[in-house]
Structure 1
């Protein structure tokens, strides 16, 4: 297997923790009540629309208005979003910086809204450290749809095994692997960075 020419990182749960349920568990100690909220309101589907480019606040508040009994809770998706997207996974950033410092291009490929990404940048200046960023809200398509991977290939001139991609979601990785990309599933913030470092070494990349 050839050595990859670039490494592509997902952001959520690879570089920055993404856990909306944690915030809802804090404000809704009754776990059954929180589960009813998520069963009744498709909050992750709402987030997918934002990741495709829909306006962040307007989308969340519109869904909230449609469910008066949950309105205040749904608005938290916008109002306390940065708490859902925290903390950064520092060991992953160290790997990214090590690769970049050794001349390996590092890109982001992430399902992220236009407004929510801009908001994240105000809290995480390290989001500017990529050589190139592919953010779904700006692209108008989300993982794991084939088109988003095609767009990355078209923009970078890389394809197949020239690309090493890490993501926490198996469906996103399967779509990339179907195009011949080398992939690694990032398991969790605790063990994920060590496994990623080893996978990168096995791919022939320099990892400190």
Structure 2
């Protein structure tokens, strides 16, 4: 029998706020095919995730510029235009988060995020500071779905793993949480999240 949920842990990107790197490059690289190539092969997901692991932007930019000197300005534009990549919050998701906190549930956040951009996002979206706190991958050098980041979060916030419900949009991260002994659901939208919470015994 599944244990009652005592702790709720939210991911941030694509659960509470929108994220799309293409939005920073529409003016810089108007051609969609060229823009897609650039964000696949130059400022790629694999390159960006190392900033989520803690690599500095200066190191990251220097690495790419050495390999793609003709794209130096475009590479630097990734961090300079980062604010354009997170244009809005998901209001219905935020309402669920705020309701859970208001109702006295133990809510924290666990995110793959560069340290500096997470602080920028918190200033822009104050709801990212509610609840008991957040574990930021860039602060601790660990990434989801590595088991170690869930274990770190468990220790940092004194959670009971089997009584913890994790909400993330990425299937691999959901599976990583389950491997760490958590309950977990994949976020596909606010209506499904409400259903998942009800099934976990939490009314919204």
Tell me if both proteins adopt one fold, taking TM over 0.5 as the criterion.
Answer: yes
Are 1:28 and 1:34, in contact at CA under 8 Å, matched by a contact in 2?
yes
Q: CA deviation at 1:122?
A: 2.4
C-alpha change, 1:94 and 1:48, in structure 2 (3 Å) is same
Partner of 1:178: 179
Are 1:63 and 1:74, in contact at CA under 8 Å, matched by a contact in 2?
no
Distance, in Å, in 2 between the alignment partners of 1:59 and 1:186 is: 33
Gaps of 5+ in 2: none
Partner of 2:203: 206
Gaps of 5+ in 1: none
RMSD over aligned Cα atoms: 1.7
Partner of 2:150: 149
Secondary structure, aligned partner of 1:87? coil
What number of residue pairs does the alignment pair up?
Answer: 202
Secondary structure, aligned partner of 2:123? helix
Distance, in Å, in 2 between the alignment partners of 1:39 and 1:53 is: 21
Distance, in Å, in 2 between the alignment partners of 1:79 and 1:102 is: 38
Give the 4+ runs in structure 1 shifted more than 4 A: none
Q: CA deviation at 1:144?
A: 0.8
Are 1:7 and 1:105, in contact at CA under 8 Å, matched by a contact in 2?
yes
Partner of 1:129: 130
Partner of 1:30: 31
Secondary structure, aligned partner of 1:165? strand
Distance, in Å, in 1 between the alignment partners of 2:106 and 2:187 is: 19
Mapping 1:9-158, distance limit 5 Å: 9-56=10-57, 58-66=58-66, 67-158=68-159
In the alignment, which of 191, 195, 206 is matched to residue 192 of structure 2?
Answer: 195
Q: TM-score, normalised by structure 2?
A: 0.91
Distance, in Å, in 2 between the alignment partners of 1:40 and 1:104 is: 42
Once the two structures are superposed, what CA deviation does each residue of 1:21-47 show, in whole Å capped at 9, x if it has no partner?
A: 233345433222123213431522222
Q: CA deviation at 1:64?
A: 4.7
